[in-house]
Amino acid sequence: MMKTSDKGGRRAKNFWVLFIVMALLGIGGGCEQVSKPEIRKPGPLQIVVPAGTPIPEYHAPAERWRIQHSKAISQKDFSERECLLCHNPQTGCQKCHKYVAAKEINLAEAAFIWASEGKDDK
């Protein structure tokens, strides 16, 4: 009988310790809110789309395409190389991929296709 009451007391103590720790983390130290990459919002994660860039039908609506583009690539509907024809990985792809911890786009062709844009920014 003594063991049962000790177990219940320990559980109650553990609950309150956990509760206090969670409360302190929530009040004082929780995670910092990080803004997500966006096309029309200035900031360090701004995705740059040059003015006048045509948006293909299959990219509409953009939110659906943003979520499902990796599926299209894995099903071989498109290749990463084809994406490079319109998308600069440094000003778009990498910002989102880093934000969601996805694989970065790392193709040698990108440096050649988008080389002039990197020089203009300096």
Question: What pTM did the predictor assign?
Answer: 0.58
d(CA 57, CA 18): 52
Average pLDDT over all residues of the chain: 78
Return the structure tokens found at 114. 């988008």
Q: How many Cβ atoms are within 10 Å of 88's Cβ, its own excluded?
A: 19
pLDDT of 5 reads 56
Under the banding of pLDDT at 50, 70 and 90, the label for residue 27 is: low
Burial 20-54 (b: 16+ CB within 10 A, else e): eeeeeeeeeeeeeeeeebeeeeeeeebbeeeeeee
Per-residue pLDDT tens over the stretch 71-94: 888 899 888 888 888 888 888 888
Per-residue pLDDT tens over the stretch 1-22: 445 556 677 888 888 888 888 8
Residues 6+ apart with CB under 8 A from 38: 45, 46, 47
Q: Are 77 and 48 within 8 A, CB to CB?
A: no
